[in-house]
């Protein structure tokens, strides 16, 4: 039986799994998105890469894709699973709450971008119908790349999700409209109306059947206590919903999105999301490999200046349109900047619309090939655009925040804006004390800015960064960092440069607090100590001890423990501000 196995039949699977097993860890090691790795893998192992040498070197067939067309269904399934996962993260209530962004912002972004790009193409000599087709194609952004990069929970992610959802929903009507614009078109508009009507009926049937059947289906699968059964039920729902919408002419991603929304309403959505995630990741990897396989390096090099210029032009136009619209809708400047740059490249949908425009005779085959190269290049640079957008957004937000702090003569600087830093900021804000926060986590920065806190991105370990924050006129520095070594190093440097500056530092435990005192901290607050004191306070109050006596004893114990810690830190000078002094002042 073993002699009947043809090893060459496993070569494509070997390449795909090898790419997933090598690309993801290697690129993650260097903190580079695996998106670029998968695309470069496709370029290398595709028909325009090593595939050209197979006849001269037969052994290369084991490390190349022998059947590129056979991968297309798996690549399309990756997009279907991606939209399914988007639906899982949403809910009907959240989707309804986003209707203004999806059908308002999303529609304006697609229409404005399409018109501007079409106008530019018309000026370049493209015919009216071809300019419209190319404009719509290039105005679409990549759902497959953007959402995994940015997610859907941040302000940028929510804006991107709204626009991408509208583009995905508009994909099928766009193809029908392009067909109606074809020179030989006759009944395009009638077909579009029929598809929309049938699509509405199918969507309503899916919603009704899903609410009725899905809880029972997943309950039965869960009773088996078999993950395989739950996975099978999930894939069954995804495929049935995708085929139902595809069968009436809509995109299968519409059905996948509805399936995700329906499962999100059940108590099984968390487990379903977990067990389908590996399939989504692998299928999206196959999709990205197919993108790389479609890049002909020979054509790319021959037309490189024109392709680069066209790609840059599309990116600039889309970034401006998206950023301006987001600002008009009330988004922060940093959010609008990052989202505009992130969504500025063409997408996988661009390739679909280009094919539809070429089939309809609106553009020539050579023109379609040129813009396909532009779209492929745009997909390759999307991770780089995401990085550039984040960097530029941080600078924009930092300048806005620093402009505020420059007007303040004395303000506190909070280093680290996580849970502890934000709580300190809230208390300073309550007592109307000026402050500025700094952190290196972009998500914490975005969350803090959205809540109205003056917080900037930066490395507090750099002298120039703290100088820009006004360290020379700071009223105090509060360190909430979770890195003991970095905290002690920073306290030591701050104390040397600013002997009179109050430095209050968070410590992990009493030994870390003693280390911070030795480094020069004015106050070091051990987390374990404060947690114990709070626990003791709760116990005493619950046992009926008067609140006043409890608070007084807690303060005394805190002073006693602080003196012990300072003694361990080999310091004889007492803290400049004791809790007993606070009580006397009060």
Q: What is the pLDDT of residue 572?
A: 47
Record the tokens describing residue 215, joined without a space.
Answer: 């809880």
**Is the same domain home to 106 and 51?**
no
Does 267 share its domain with 381? Answer: yes
Looking at the domain assignment, is residue 400 inside a domain? no
pLDDT, residue 578, reads 38
Q: Residue 184's pLDDT is what? A: 56
| Nearest-angstrom CA–CA distance, 357 and 377 | 20
* Residue 117: per-residue pLDDT: 93
- On whether residue 333 sits in a domain, the answer given is yes
Q: Which two tokens stand for residue 398?
A: 């930092």
Determine how many CB atoms are found less than 10 A away from the CB of residue 432: 6
In terms of pTM, does the model score above 0.85? no
- Between residues 470 and 131, the one the model is more confident about: 131
**End-to-end CA separation in angstroms for the chain:** 89
In a domain, 346, yes or no: yes
- The answer to the question of residue 74 being in a domain is yes
Claim to verify: residue 130 and residue 200 sit in the same structural domain: yes
Mean pLDDT value of segment 257-283: 82
* Residues 387-401, mean pLDDT to the nearest whole number: 73
**Residue 97: Cβ-neighbour burial (10 angstroms; 0-12, 13-18, 19+):** exposed
Could you say which of 353, 370, 393 is where a domain stops? 393
pLDDT exceeds 80 at position 485: yes
For 34-60, letters b (16+ CB in 10 Å) and e give bbbbbbbbbbbbbebbbbeebeeeeeb
pLDDT, position 580:
38
Paired tokens of 231: 């996975």
CA distances from 23 to 19, 142, 270, 293 (A): 5, 21, 28, 16
236 within some domain: yes
Does 354 share its domain with 473? no
* Same structural domain, 479 and 503: yes
Please report whether residue 401 resides in a domain. no
Q: What confidence score (pLDDT) does residue 258 get? A: 87
Say whether pLDDT at 189 is over 70.
no
What is the percentage of the chain residues whose pLDDT exceeds 70? 85
pLDDT at residue 65, as a whole number? 77
Q: How far is CA 574 from the centre of its chain?
A: 48
Alpha carbons 492 and 241: distance in angstroms, whole number: 62
What pLDDT was estimated at residue 33? 66
Is pLDDT at 67 greater than 80 in this prediction? no
The domain that contains 108 carries what CATH number?
1.20.1530.20
Closest CA to 436 of 450, 425, 451: 425
Banded model confidence at residue 190, pLDDT cuts 50, 70, 90: low
Alpha-carbon span 364 to 35, nearest angstrom: 30
Assess whether 181 and 199 both reside in one domain: yes
Using the 3D structure, point to which of 23, 47, 66 is the last residue of a domain. Answer: 66
Contact 550, 540 (CB under 8 A): yes
Mean pLDDT confidence for 393-413: 64
> Which tokens go with 222?
């869960």
What is the structure's pLDDT at 182?
62
Structure confidence at residue 317 (pLDDT): 94
Lowest mean pLDDT among 36-45, 116-125, 267-276, 527-536: 527-536
pLDDT digit string, tens, across residues 415-437: 988 888 888 888 888 777 888 88
Give the model's confidence band at 111: pLDDT under 50 very low, under 70 low, under 90 confident, else very high: very high
pLDDT tens digit string along 509-558? 878 888 888 888 888 888 777 777 677 777 777 777 788 777 788 778 77
Task: Summarize the confidence of residues 383-402 as an average pLDDT.
Answer: 75
User: Residues 59, 184: one domain?
Assistant: no
Residue 316: its pLDDT value, please? 94
Q: Is residue 399 part of a domain?
A: no
Q: Are residues 343 and 223 in the same domain?
A: yes
Q: Are 176 and 194 in contact (CB under 8 A)?
A: no
373 pLDDT above the threshold of 80: yes
Long-range pairs of 188-197 with CB within 8 A, sequence gap ≥ 24: 191/249, 194/249, 195/248, 195/249, 195/250
pLDDT above 50 (res 357): yes
Q: Where are the beta strands (DSSP E) in 139-297?
A: none
φ, ψ (nearest 5 deg) of residue 420: -70, -45
Q: What is the pLDDT of residue 375?
A: 87
Statement to judge: residues 316 and 438 lie in one domain:
no
- Residues 138-185: pLDDT tens digits? 999 887 778 777 766 677 888 888 898 888 778 767 877 776 666 655
Same domain, 32 and 80: no
% pLDDT > 90, the chain: 9
Q: Which of 173-182, 231-240, 248-257, 501-510 has the highest mean pLDDT?
A: 231-240
CATH of the domain at 454: 3.40.50.720
- Is the pLDDT at 30 greater than 80, yes or no? no
Query: At which of 393, 426, 457 does a domain end?
Result: 393
Q: How far is CA 388 from CA 13, 91, 244, 351, 385, in A?
A: 35, 31, 40, 25, 5
User: Is the model's pLDDT at 3 over the cut of 60?
Assistant: no
Predicted confidence at residue 110, as pLDDT, reads 92
Same domain, yes or no, for 138 and 73?
Answer: yes
Kindly report which listed range (80-84, 175-179, 372-376) carries the lowest average pLDDT score.
175-179
How many Å apart are CA 155 and CA 519, to the nearest integer? 39
Domain limits at 44?
1-66
Contact between 25 and 34 under an 8 Å Cβ cutoff? The reply is no
In a domain, 482, yes or no: yes
Residues 76 and 216 in one domain: yes
Specify whether the CB–CB gap between 439 and 416 falls below 8 A.
Answer: yes
DSSP assignment, residue 105? I
From 254-258, 354-358, 388-392, the region with the lowest mean pLDDT: 354-358
| Token output for 243 | 């085929």
How many domains does the chain fold into?
Answer: 3
Higher pLDDT, 401 or 250: 250
357 phi, psi to nearest 5 deg: -65, -40
Label residue 411 exposed, middle or buried (CB < 10 Å: 0-12, 13-18, 19+): buried
pLDDT band, residue 583 (cuts 50/70/90): very low
Instruction: Check: CB of residue 8 under 8 Å from CB of residue 66.
Output: yes
Q: Is residue 276 over pLDDT 70?
A: yes
Both tokens of 251, joined, read 């995109």
Residues 6+ apart with CB under 8 A from 464: none
The pLDDT mean for the chain works out to 79
Helix (H) or strand (E) holding 503: strand 503-507
């Amino acid at each position: 039986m073993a002699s009947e196995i043809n090893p060459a039949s496993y070569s494509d699977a070997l390449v795909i799994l090898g790419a997933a097993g090598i690309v993801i860890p290697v690129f993650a090691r260097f903190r580079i998105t695996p998106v670029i790795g998968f695309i470069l893998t496709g370029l290398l192992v595709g028909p325009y890469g090593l595939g050209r040498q197979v006849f001269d070197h037969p052994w290369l067939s084991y490390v190349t894709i022998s059947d590129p067309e056979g991968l297309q269904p798996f690549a399309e399934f990756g997009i279907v699973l991606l939209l399914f996962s988007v639906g899982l993260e949403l809910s009907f209530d959240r989707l309804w709450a986003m209707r203004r962004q999806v059908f308002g912002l999303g529609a304006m972004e697609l229409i404005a971008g399409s018109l501007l790009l079409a106008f530019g193409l018309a000026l370049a000599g493209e015919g009216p119908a071809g300019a419209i087709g190319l404009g719509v194609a290039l105005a679409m952004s990549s759902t497959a790349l953007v959402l995994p990069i940015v997610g859907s929970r941040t302000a940028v992610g929510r804006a991107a999700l709204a626009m991408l959802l509208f583009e995905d929903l508009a994909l099928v009507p766009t193809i029908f409209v392009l067909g109606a614009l074809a020179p030989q078109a006759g009944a395009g508009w009638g077909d579009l109306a029929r598809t929309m009507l049938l699509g509405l009926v199918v969507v309503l049937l899916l919603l009704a059947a899903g609410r009725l059947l899905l809880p029972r289906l997943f309950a039965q699968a869960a009773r088996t206590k078999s993950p395989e059964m739950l996975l099978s039920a999930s894939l069954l729902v995804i495929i049935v919903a995708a085929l139902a919408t595809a069968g009436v002419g809509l995109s299968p991603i519409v059905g996948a999105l509805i399936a995700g929304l329906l499962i999100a309403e059940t108590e099984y959505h968390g487990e379903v999301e977990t067990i389908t995630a590996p399939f989504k990741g692998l299928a999206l990897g196959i999709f990205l490999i197919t993108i790389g396989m479609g890049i002909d390096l020979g054509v790319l090099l021959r037309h490189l200046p024109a392709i680069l210029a066209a790609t840059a032009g599309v990116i600039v136009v889309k970034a401006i349109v998206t950023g301006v619209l987001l600002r008009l809708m009330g988004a922060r400047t940093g959010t609008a900047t990052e989202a505009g740059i992130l969504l500025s490249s063409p997408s996988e949908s661009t390739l679909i619309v280009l094919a539809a425009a070429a089939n309809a005779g609106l553009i020539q085959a050579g023109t379609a090939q040129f813009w396909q190269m532009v779209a492929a290049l745009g997909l390759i640079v999307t991770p780089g655009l995401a990085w550039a957008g984040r960097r530029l957004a941080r600078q924009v937000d930092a300048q806005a925040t620093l402009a505020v702090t420059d007007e303040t003569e004395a303000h506190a600087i909070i280093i680290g804006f996580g849970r502890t830093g934000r709580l300190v900021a809230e208390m300073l804000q309550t007592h109307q004390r000026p402050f500025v926060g700094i952190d290196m986590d972009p998500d914490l920065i975005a969350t803090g800015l959205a809540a109205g806190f003056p917080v900037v991105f930066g490395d507090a370990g750099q002298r120039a960064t703290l100088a820009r924050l006004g360290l020379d006129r700071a009223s105090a520095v509060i360190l909430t960092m979770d890195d003991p070594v970095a905290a002690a190093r920073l306290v030591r440097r701050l104390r040397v440069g600013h002997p009179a500056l109050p430095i209050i530092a968070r410590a992990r435990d009493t030994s870390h607090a003693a280390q911070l005192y030795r480094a020069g901290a004015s106050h070091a607050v051990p987390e374990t100590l404060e947690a114990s004191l709070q626990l003791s306070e709760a116990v005493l109050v619950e046992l009926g001890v008067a609140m006043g006596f409890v608070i007084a004893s807690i303060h005394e114990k805190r002073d006693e423990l602080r003196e012990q810690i300072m003694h361990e830190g080999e310091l004889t000078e007492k803290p400049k501000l004791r809790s007993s002094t606070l009580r006397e002042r009060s």
